[in-house]
Amino acid sequence: MLRYLLWAVLAFSLVRLVSRLFRPERAQSPPSAQAAEPGVLVQDSVCGTFVDRSRALTARDQTGEVRYFCSEACRRKAR
């Protein structure tokens, strides 16, 4: 009887181990992360700081070109 219980515990822990192995692989490539393009750096034209594009503030200049800023203070200076 004890041996059956031991096998049940072993099987249960094996299932948990396998599911844990597959879970991080799914978390690495969610479709939303690819759309946001994390890790792409853009330069703030006011202070020269490089900012992650997904976090940078944007504004369009007179020519309609998108410019990136590290903060609201830099965006105000550009105008």
Q: Which residues contact Zn ion (rule: CB under 5 A)? A: 44, 46-47, 49, 70, 74
Q: Which is nearer to Zn ion, 15 or 78 (CB)?
A: 78
Q: Which is nearer to Zn ion, 33 or 47 (CB)?
A: 47
- Pairing label, strands 41-43, 50-52: antiparallel
Q: What angle do CA 18, 22, 24 make, to 5 degrees?
A: 130
Q: Which is nearer to Zn ion, 23 or 76 (CB)?
A: 76
CB 44 within 8 A of CB 51: yes
- How near is the Cβ of 69 to Zn ion at its closest, in Å? 6
